[in-house]
Amino acid sequence: MPEPTIQEPVSELDLMAYVDDQLDPERRIAVEDHLSRHPVLAAQIMDDLRQRDELRLALSEAASTISDHRLELPAQRLGRRLSLRIALHRNRRAIAASILVGAGWLAHSMFGGVGADPASAAHILPVYADEAVEAYRNVLVEARYDAVPWGRGEQERIAAPAADAGATIPLPHLPAAFAPVASHPVSAGGSNAVQMLIHGPDDELLTLFAVETDSFSIEPPHAEAVRDVNVAYWQSGWFAYVLSGTGDQKELLSLASRLSR
Amino acid sequence: MHPLLKDHILPLRRYALALTGDADQSDDLVQETLARAIEGAGSWDPRRDLRKWLFGIMHNTHASGRRRRSLEKSVAGEIAAMSSDSAPASQFTSVHFSETIASLMRLPDDQREVMVLIAVEAFSYKDAAEMLNLPIGTVMSRLARAREALRAEQGRVEQGRPDESSHRPDLRLVR
């Protein structure tokens, strides 16, 4: 093994990167050590640093004299759109979490000993409640701005972006009173999943999460309230469904029953 | 100002000013940049650096505008306009700062944009290279030439650089 070099010589590029604050601490110290032994060079570097600071100040001063008046409106519009992008990004993560609420609850109620009683779902829901509610609210915000950037909904089968490209999730047949607005494939813990945005019979906004499970079962819908958002779960074969909305819990259960037939 | 953008407007204005050398044109450039950003907002990934994204849009907006206006007045003419009586009174109130900006404006476009992105806006070499769609080595050499020119402007003729300068070890870039 060759002996490690004690110190590589300081180069012009090092000096430039020093001025631009782009060196790691170790190299920075080496450059400073070098400069301490070369006062002429140190003075030049100081000049470069001063020049950099003067440029920042000069441009800032000149730029700040220009009124932002003309920018207010476009900046507001852009800010709103970017906020929605952020909300959507969070929403996608929250959707995955809220699907787990449904899938977890189903698995728990079907296979878990103490979880056989649907009431025990209340112990599971609060774990994801915030994200589930946030997901639904984000959808509402996006819908309000007509900014849901998903593909148009397909009522029957929508391909999900899973490792198995051939995998699809059967979505319930929507009665005529339900109008699909958009659909968005998501990945939930390695499972195929789809979120659909639906206008209900009274034009209320609903989200339907559909997720592939690893257990076959037929379970009728059950409803739970998570603060101001109601959710209804059911399972049909290998697939679990979670319907969310702000309407009356009984009504949501009734809608879920219509969808689950 | 929208909270997501309030910290980015002044830097965008600085960059626009450096690119155009003119208060009114820079205002137009910032406007057009925001308009393009609104159109392209759907392509912004929230995990990406918003400032870098906006600067990239401004660079592209200016570059396409520059192509359109290839016959427009030269930078030298713009500088003359800046220092003339017809320039808006709000511009460059400090004489010293005017000189600083005038020195910057005398740099060729490609050196000036690199100088502003890195020295003024503190972008990493890598980010600047990505924004300008250039190899990082090109960015660094433009920056070195820009610094040299600015030093020469100030009558500080380069001398006394160490012999080691011809031997260039790899940079330890931290950003």
pLDDT per position as a tens digit, B51-101: 999 999 999 999 888 776 665 556 666 656 665 554 444 444 444 557 888
Asked if pLDDT for residue A56 goes beyond 80, the answer is: yes
Asked if pLDDT for residue B140 goes beyond 60, the answer is: yes
> In whole angstroms, what is the distance from residue B95 CA to residue A238 CA?
75
pLDDT for res B81: 63
Confidence of residue B139 (pLDDT cuts 50, 70, 90): very high
Instruction: Please give the model's pTM, rounded to 2 decimal places.
Output: 0.55
Question: Do A58 and B100 make contact, defined as CB atoms within 8 angstroms?
Answer: yes
pLDDT for res A250: 87
Does B156 touch chain A if contact means CB atoms closer than 8 Å?
A: yes
Does A164 touch chain B if contact means CB atoms closer than 8 Å?
A: no
Question: Do A55 and B116 make contact, defined as CB atoms within 8 angstroms?
Answer: yes
Question: Do B23 and A62 make contact, defined as CB atoms within 8 angstroms?
Answer: yes
pLDDT for res B71: 54
pLDDT for res A149: 47
Nearest chain B residue (CA) to A19: B119
pLDDT for res B152: 86
Nearest chain B residue (CA) to A37: B162
Distances (CA, A) of A93 to A10, A138, B139: 47, 11, 38
Nearest chain B residue (CA) to A78: B38
pLDDT for res A204: 78
Nearest chain A residue (CA) to B94: A58
Please report the DSSP string for A84-139 in residue order: HHHHHHHHHHHHHHHHHHHHHHHHHHHH-SGGGSGGGHHHHHHHHHHHHHHHHHHH
Write out the H or E segment, with its range, that includes residue B113: helix B109-115
pLDDT for res B18: 93
B8 or A150: whose pLDDT is higher?
B8
In this predicted model, what pLDDT tens digit does every residue of A162-187 receive, in sequence order?
333 334 778 888 888 887 777 766 65
Least confident window among A40-49, A55-64, A216-225, B127-136 = A216-225
Distances (CA, A) of B68 to A67, B21, B23, B63: 26, 17, 19, 9
Asked if pLDDT for residue A103 goes beyond 70, the answer is: no
pLDDT for res A36: 92
pLDDT for res B165: 43
Contacts of A40 in chain B (CB under 8 A): 159-160
pLDDT for res A35: 92
A2 or B131: whose pLDDT is higher?
B131
Asked if pLDDT for residue A217 goes beyond 60, the answer is: yes
Share above pLDDT 90 across residues of chain A, in percent, rounded to a whole number = 12
Interface test with A, best of B24, B28, B83, B97 (most A CBs within 10 A): B97
pLDDT for res A233: 78
> In whole angstroms, what is the distance from residue A131 CA to residue B61 CA?
39
Phi, psi of B76 (to 5 degrees): -60, -40
A167-181 b/e (C-beta count within 10 Å ≥ 16 → b): ebbebbebeeebebb
A90-101 mean pLDDT: 54
A68 or B51: whose pLDDT is higher?
B51
Per-residue tokens: B104: 């910057």
| Number of H-type helices and E-type strands within chain B | 8, 0
Which residues, other chains included, contact B130 with Cβ-Cβ below 8 Å and sequence gap of 6+? Answer: B52, B56
- The partner residue sitting opposite B171, judged by closest CB among A14, A19, A55, is A14
Asked if pLDDT for residue A257 goes beyond 70, the answer is: yes
In this predicted model, what pLDDT tens digit does every residue of A126-169 receive, in sequence order?
333 344 455 566 666 665 555 544 444 443 333 333 333 334 77
Contacts of B13 in chain A (CB under 8 A): 63-64, 66
Does B14 touch chain A if contact means CB atoms closer than 8 Å?
A: yes
Interface test with B, best of A31, A50, A71, A88 (most B CBs within 10 A): A71
CB–CB of A159/A170 below 8 Å? no
pLDDT for res B53: 95
State chain A's mean pLDDT as an integer.
70
Q: How many CB pairs under 8 A join A and B?
A: 192
pLDDT for res B75: 61
Share above pLDDT 70 across residues of chain B, in percent, rounded to a whole number = 70
pLDDT for res B142: 95
Does B134 touch chain A if contact means CB atoms closer than 8 Å?
A: no
pLDDT for res A159: 34
Does B165 touch chain A if contact means CB atoms closer than 8 Å?
A: yes
Asked if pLDDT for residue B169 goes beyond 60, the answer is: no
pLDDT for res B44: 87
Least confident window among A212-226, B89-103, B161-175 = B161-175
Interface test with B, best of A78, A80, A148 (most B CBs within 10 A): A78
Confidence of residue A202 (pLDDT cuts 50, 70, 90): confident
